[in-house]
Amino acid sequence: MSAILEVSGVSKRFGGIRAVDGATFSLQCPGIFGLIGPNGAGKTTMFDIICGRHVPDSGEVRFHAERINGVAPYRLAREGLARTFQECRVLPDETCMDNVLFAAQDKRLGREMLQAVSRGTAARRNTGAEARRLLRLINLERYADQPAGALSYGQRRLLEIVSCLMSKPRILLLDEPASGINPTLLNTLRDFLIEIYRETKIVFLIVEHNMEFIMSLASEIVVMHQGRVLAQGAPEQIQSDKSVIDAYLGQS
């Protein structure tokens, strides 16, 4: 059986900087995976490459054995690759509910035109109920009809994650979900992610700097350093890995 996500020998340079330099790793089975590394290790660039925002200079990315590097982001999204952004993006003018419904809708032009004529259906009501359930899970239900721009930063992050889930992804990439979230909300987020994982059994790949958070959440950790993959393994194994400790403490 082929891996769900396989990154092999991927490189990307911006001018003179090698952001990603021959990174190789693979995610074999569903689970919560962490992607960590010191600042500038190339984690976000890696995400952008997986999601199609950047085209790698060399190497390839395979998703269920299918080569996906160089495929447009919107096509990958329709194939079930969802992501959140490090800087946290929601539609500020839409209500929370509309944000979530927007993520769930079929965005092929033909389908949208059909929908414009055919209007409400049973499927639509089901989507609405599911959206409400997810909003309740992260305590955003009472803001359902408020514009997303009025939410706090942490709440917007949660909304972004819920939106991603509504598109029924097969793999979900979260870029620093815990940053800017207060400790109480952080526990909500952890419980929420574990709950959702139990329900969906999809791949979560999470870039995170909050070690306590990611170590308690992930079943496997990938460590990047200077554009390469340094180590991959269970959290305990990573925490005692000499090269990882060196990378973080700056001896190499």
Partner 1 sequence: MRLSYSLIVTVAILAFGALAPVIFKTQPYVLYVLTLALCYAIPVVGVNLLYGYTGLVSLGHMGFAGIGAYTTALLMKSAGMPFLPALLIGAIASGGVGLLVGIPCLRLRSHFFIVVTLAVGMILYTLFNNLDSITGGAEGLPGIPRPQRFSLGSWNMEFRSVSGFYTLTFIVTALVFGLQTLLVRSDFGRSLSSVRQDEALASARGVNVFAHKLTAFALSAAIAGVGGAMKVLFLRAAAPLSFELQESINLIVMLIVGGAGYLIGPLVGAIGFIALPEFLRAAAELRLVFFGFVLLVIARLAPRGICGTVELLFRKLSGKDASVVRHS
Which of positions 135-164 make contact with partner 1 (CB under 8 A)?
Answer: 146-147, 149-150, 163
Judged by CB under 8 A, the stretch of 13-21, 25-33, 109-117, 223-231 that binds partner 1 is 109-117
Residue type, 167: S
With vertex at residue 15, the alpha carbon angle to CA 10 and CA 16, rounded to the nearest 5 degrees, is: 85
116 scored as a contact of partner 1 (CB under 8 A): yes
CA 122, CA 112: separation in Å to the nearest integer?
Answer: 16
Using the minimum distance from each CB to partner 1, give the nearer residue, 108 or 236.
108
CA distance 215 to 41: 18
Tell me the C-alpha distance between 66 and 118, whole Å.
35
Exactly one of 103, 158, 217, 230 binds partner 1 (CB under 8 A); that residue is 103
Which residue, 92 or 180, is less far from partner 1 as judged by CB?
92
Nearer CB in complex with partner 1: 107/201: 107
- From first CA to last CA, the distance across the chain in angstroms is 37
Interface of this chain with partner 1, residues 26 to 55, rule: CB under 8 A: 51, 53
- Which of 3, 71, 91, 186 touches partner 1 (CB under 8 A)? 91
Q: Which residues bind partner 1 (CB under 8 A)?
A: 51, 53, 72-74, 77-78, 82-83, 85, 89-94, 98, 101-103, 105-107, 109, 111-113, 115-117, 146-147, 149-150, 163, 167
